[in-house]
């Protein structure tokens, strides 16, 4: 299985993971793609350099991931948004589950 690496910008350890480490977080809000593109943040980690390619389809083929836009990396509090690439966000799992003010919270 393909491994992904989020390289730290200093304060945090690098995070290596694969698809099995991504835990879907249900969000009560439906978000359009233009809204999701406002949420990535690279304050603590460099962008993930490995494109998802066919793994994107594999991730969403799992029934438990249908409708999830956000995923927590197992063993961390780090929340990511999969797409062509994997993008970090400053949102927490509780932010996403509540669905309140996601765009404002992501802006900091």
Q: What string of pLDDT tens digits covers the 108 residues of the chain?
A: 799 999 999 888 999 999 999 999 988 777 777 777 777 777 888 888 888 989 999 999 999 998 898 999 999 999 999 988 898 988 889 888 887 777 676 665
For residue 102, the enclosing domain spans 4-107
Pairing mode of beta strands 15-17, 4-6: antiparallel
Burial class for 31, CB neighbours closer than 10 Å (0-12, 13-18, 19+): middle
Question: Encoding tokens for residue 99?
Answer: 């669905």
- In this prediction the pTM is 0.86
Task: Report the number of distinct structural domains present in the chain.
Answer: 1
19 forms bridges with which residues in the sheet? Answer: none
């Amino acid at each position: 299985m393909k491994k992904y690496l989020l390289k730290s910008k200093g304060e945090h350890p690098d995070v290596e993971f694969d698809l099995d480490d991504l835990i879907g977080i249900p969000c009560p809000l439906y978000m359009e793609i233009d809204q999701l593109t406002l949420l990535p943040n690279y304050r603590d980690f460099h962008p993930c350099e490995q494109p998802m390619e066919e793994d994107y389809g594999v991730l969403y083929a799992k029934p438990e991931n249908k409708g999830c836009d956000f995923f927590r990396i197992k063993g961390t509090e780090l929340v990511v948004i999969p797409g062509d690439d994997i993008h970090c966000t400053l949102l927490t799992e509780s932010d996403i589950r509540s669905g309140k003010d996601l765009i404002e919270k992501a802006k900091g």
